[in-house]
Structure 1
Amino acid sequence: MEGLLDKPLNPNKLLKEQFVSNLTGSSLLEIAALSTIVPAVVVLRKWSSGDNIRKDSVKKNDDAPRGQKDWVHYFSSLAADYLTVVLPILLIFTVLAEWAYICAFSLVIVISICTIYKRSQFHLKAHQHNLPSLRTDISSYRVSVILMTCLSILAVDFKIFPRRYAKAETYGSGMMDLGVGSFVVANALVSREARSITAMRWKASLRSISPLVFLGFARLISTSGVDYQVHVGEYGVHWNFFFTLAAISILTSIIRIHPKYCGVVGLLVLAGYQVWLSFGLNEYLISNERSADIISQNKEGVYSIFGYWGMYFIGVSLGYHVFFDTSPKFKSRSTQVVKVWVLAASFWILTIILDGYVERVSRRMCNFAYVMLVFGQNFQVISILTLAGYISYDKNLILEDAFNQNMLGSFLLANILTGLVNLSVDTLAASSLTAFIILSVYTSMLCMIVGLAQFCGVRMKFW
């Protein structure tokens, strides 16, 4: 009995921490290729499911009760979405990782052919239908962010997941480095500020922030309690993702700025922070130096707040000007789409310039180059998703609606499932087949549980 009690819950903790340490990330070109694959798969699924959705919606089945018919249709559609969207992405990020460029190029060719082939059909339908709002594409984009995040947080613990996709130690960027930044941008683009909704009062603001603070402490206590592996260089000794979100919310509540001016303020914050980094703060943040005080113990998480705060302000400004501006000259979808594509290209160019001549991309300190990379990658995803609206006039996929309704809830569930897998399976010793089976079961469970929550009307919203 004593032997069982003395046995650590996570005997491979040190090995697992070393497995995700001292990494240098991927190339900007490969990040661009991977950022093409995910939205391209979603677009093709939307195009292929468009006619089926319409047929199913008008098809009658008088033999089955209404509730049963809805239930069967919902979960069969959800399963089809999983098989045609999630599973291919899982394959490309694991088994087919070395074929990423070929997969991206092939998908671009397929989408280009489909667009040209269906263009005449679009012109015929355009007179009968209004083009869908770009806000539908924003929903798809937000789901792409959360899907990739949920998939990666478990996949990274297996050898089947390429190390270059994992988070870089200091400078450089893997796909996973873009997760927290993408989450901040995804929320900023559709935030209350971006939609010009009257700012919440202090009590309401505190209520909206308190769950994030609670989740931050809950993660800290739970990871310490079960001796779960935590890479200190990511945020610090005690800091985590939820504390970063809470800090941004607090700063935004204290300093309230009209969305028209958020972009300028965000750029000023980033410029000032980058100057501070260049004058020695960067060396301190990437060093192993830590004193006993709480700020030094969590220096990465604390100081990177300035970068994420500037990122959030810019995201609010872009959301307001690109997606929620009601001015007639900006209201047409074509104008919005052109702005998205131009912004995507501009952010990528700025990333290359800053990475080459100012300071290399670093998620650890959330520097200027990293912020531009996050915006470049995210707007690239949005720009590809805008193609769906030119051919398909249907609603989002059921999978998208399910995750969009419970974004943070699905992320919490993914973290719980990831923790359970890590504590019950030796992920480092798992073969490629075993790892892929586990990841397939994990992602299917996640999709089905999130789908069930959406079907039953359950919604968790914290931020």
Structure 2
Amino acid sequence: MEGLLLDKPLNPNKLLKEQFVSNLTGSSLAEIAALSTIVPALVVLRKWSSGDNTWRDTAKKNDDVHPVRKDWMHYFSALLVDYLTVVLPILLVFTVLAEWVYTCAISLVILIPIYIMNKGFQSHLKAELNRLPSLRADISSYRVSVVLVTCLCILAVDFKIFPRRYAKAETYGSGIMDLGVGSFVVANALVSRQARNITSMSFKAALSSISPLVFLGFARIVSTLGVDYQVHVGEYGVHWNFFFTLAAISILTSIVRIHPKYCGLVGLLILAGYQIWLSFGLNEYLISDERNADIISQNKEGVYSILGYWGMFLIGVSLGYYLFVDTSSKGRSRNTQVVKVWVLAASFWILAVVLDSYIERVSRRMCNFAYVMLVFGQNFQVLSILTLAGFVSYENNLVLEDAFNQNMLGSFLLANILTGLVNLSVDTLSSSSLAAFMIMSVYTFTLCMVAGLAHFCGFRMKFW
């Protein structure tokens, strides 16, 4: 009996789960645009209705037990409302309401300007220009939105309730999950040390700063092999994963130091050269099943796509510098910055459509030029919608945003651990729609509450 238990595989449905996320073609660019409208619109509407989150101030003014308890209740009540009005609707749209995504997007697009016209302009005119929320607050909201959607999708993709067109495409095409990888790169680039023109870090210090990413990359390899977890080889290769990609980008940026003024041009040149290489045959090699014994061939998708992600990162650094850091440029008012963000969003979307139609279809697997432009278009679309929050006065970011922003990496790691535990303990492929939705609800609720508890207690996960 004991021998039988030892022989039982930890993940008996591994092959079925790998097939479940293989050979997919993604969704349309229009649907990606619709989904990218819904998420930030929900955040904006919640900000306008959240009122004043002053739990910290009350705690400072009162030292007795009762007010502190009241603040604890106030904090987690606000966090619960954030969950019910932001996270749960996103979960619904990505699962049971997936066929209504355009209706949901159009409804929110109509609702936001109505709200602004009713309440926004009056409060906007009363507020002094320098007291309006800065774009830094919008950047923070945008980064949290990226993490939230990513954490939700990494588990949802294993259930049938999650539309297959939202999952990662096999070769060409793009599901909403394909954009998570690039979104992390862009989100990091916009607020990076390079974008802030901080060049004091030595190469040794740079290596030390990426050591957590390298550790996490190897930890993922060991853990997935140890529990026989499903891994789609066509995504990055046999051993590669996204932590290694992030580490490689950081190493390259540390070795080749470029002033943020010129990062955009260098990034475009790298992408152009890489795209030419792809068009002359590299793309056929990368999407083929050919794998030799050497380490590069075994991980060809992850290794070669570094060029695309590095170009993407450098463009993000340049945009972060010009939009949010460079104090010498004229037109630094919030309104001017907001217009620039909207123009950039539209421009990137147009470039993505043109490149996808006439050069090469979008491919996250190769990180080609069309994919990079799509990532920037989608990310700046999210950011541009979040800037609308400034048209109506609000006090602070959401409690949910503060919680995830303080422990972004920690929240992502927790989501990966919870995803692994669910997959090893539940037959996700056989789960009914109701069971899947309940599991997803408990998962996202747990993630939000743990992040909130860490934030409330002042805990911050930092590796270096």
TM range (shorter): over 0.9
Amino acid at match of 1:270: L
Aligned to 1:22: 23
Cα distance in 2 between the residues matched to 1:116 and 1:124: 12
Aligned to 1:253: 254
Instruction: Tell me if structure 2 keeps the 8 A contact 1:344–1:379.
Output: yes
Aligned to 1:114: 115
Amino acid at match of 2:251: I
Aligned to 2:400: 399
Residue 46 (str. 1) matches residue 55 (str. 2): no
Amino acid at match of 2:408: M
Instruction: Tell me if structure 1 keeps the 8 A contact 2:428–2:436.
Output: yes
Specify every segment of 5 or more residues in structure 1 that has no aligned partner in the other structure, as ranges. Answer: none
Aligned to 1:382: 383
Aligned to 1:311: 312
Which whole-Å deviations, capped at 9, do the CAs of 1:84-114 have from their partners, x for residues lacking one? Answer: 1000000011010000000000000000100
The verdict on how the C-alpha distance between 1:55 and 1:239 changes in structure 2, with shifts beyond 3 A counting, is closer
The verdict on how the C-alpha distance between 1:270 and 1:199 changes in structure 2, with shifts beyond 3 A counting, is farther
Instruction: Tell me if structure 2 keeps the 8 A contact 1:131–1:393.
Output: no
The Cα of 1:393 is off from its aligned counterpart by: 3.3
Aligned to 1:427: 428
Determine helix, strand or coil for the equivalent of 2:331.
helix
The verdict on how the C-alpha distance between 1:328 and 1:132 changes in structure 2, with shifts beyond 3 A counting, is farther
Amino acid at match of 1:349: I
Instruction: Tell me if structure 1 keeps the 8 A contact 2:146–2:180.
Output: yes
Which whole-Å deviations, capped at 9, do the CAs of 1:194-250 have from their partners, x for residues lacking one? Answer: 111233112221111001000000000000010000000000000001011111111
Aligned to 2:155: 154
Aligned to 1:298: 299
The Cα of 1:259 is off from its aligned counterpart by: 0.4
TM-score (norm 1): 0.97
Cα distance in 2 between the residues matched to 1:300 and 1:409: 27
Residue 280 (str. 1) matches residue 281 (str. 2): yes
The verdict on how the C-alpha distance between 1:123 and 1:246 changes in structure 2, with shifts beyond 3 A counting, is closer
Instruction: Tell me if structure 2 keeps the 8 A contact 1:212–1:462.
Output: no
Amino acid at match of 2:155: L
Alignment of structure 1 residues 182-197 onto 2, 5 Å: 182-197=183-198
The Cα of 1:406 is off from its aligned counterpart by: 1.2
Aligned to 2:181: 180
Instruction: Tell me if structure 1 keeps the 8 A contact 2:58–2:71.
Output: no
Which whole-Å deviations, capped at 9, do the CAs of 1:21-69 have from their partners, x for residues lacking one? Answer: 000000000000000000000000000113x536996799998534322
The Cα of 1:389 is off from its aligned counterpart by: 1.3
Residue 342 (str. 1) matches residue 337 (str. 2): no
Aligned to 2:69: 68
The verdict on how the C-alpha distance between 1:286 and 1:71 changes in structure 2, with shifts beyond 3 A counting, is same
Cα distance in 2 between the residues matched to 1:56 and 1:285: 52
Aligned to 1:10: 11
Instruction: Tell me if structure 2 keeps the 8 A contact 1:408–1:462.
Output: no
Aligned to 2:230: 229
Determine helix, strand or coil for the equivalent of 2:89.
helix
The verdict on how the C-alpha distance between 1:308 and 1:129 changes in structure 2, with shifts beyond 3 A counting, is closer
Amino acid at match of 1:53: N
Which whole-Å deviations, capped at 9, do the CAs of 1:386-434 have from their partners, x for residues lacking one? Answer: 0001213322101001111111111111000000000000000000000
The Cα of 1:121 is off from its aligned counterpart by: 2.0
Determine helix, strand or coil for the equivalent of 2:131.
coil
Cα distance in 1 between the residues matched to 2:331 and 2:110: 30
Instruction: Tell me if structure 1 keeps the 8 A contact 2:286–2:300.
Output: yes
Instruction: Tell me if structure 2 keeps the 8 A contact 1:46–1:392.
Output: no
The verdict on how the C-alpha distance between 1:56 and 1:390 changes in structure 2, with shifts beyond 3 A counting, is farther
TM-score (norm 2): 0.97
Cα distance in 2 between the residues matched to 1:287 and 1:199: 43
Cα distance in 2 between the residues matched to 1:75 and 1:172: 41
Instruction: Tell me if structure 1 keeps the 8 A contact 2:121–2:392.
Output: no
Instruction: Tell me if structure 1 keeps the 8 A contact 2:22–2:232.
Output: yes
The Cα of 1:328 is off from its aligned counterpart by: 5.8
Aligned to 2:414: 413
Amino acid at match of 1:185: V
Amino-acid identity (%)? 80
Cα distance in 1 between the residues matched to 2:83 and 2:427: 26
Amino acid at match of 1:276: W
Cα distance in 1 between the residues matched to 2:55 and 2:250: 44
Cα distance in 2 between the residues matched to 1:446 and 1:111: 28
Deviates more, 1:129-138 or 1:316-325: 129-138
Instruction: Tell me if structure 2 keeps the 8 A contact 1:16–1:229.
Output: yes
Residue 444 (str. 1) matches residue 449 (str. 2): no
Aligned to 1:366: 367
Instruction: Tell me if structure 2 keeps the 8 A contact 1:182–1:378.
Output: yes
The Cα of 1:75 is off from its aligned counterpart by: 1.1
Aligned to 1:103: 104
Deviates more, 1:308-317 or 1:62-71: 62-71
Amino acid at match of 1:161: F
Deviates more, 1:122-131 or 1:445-454: 122-131
The alignment covers a number of residue pairs equal to: 462
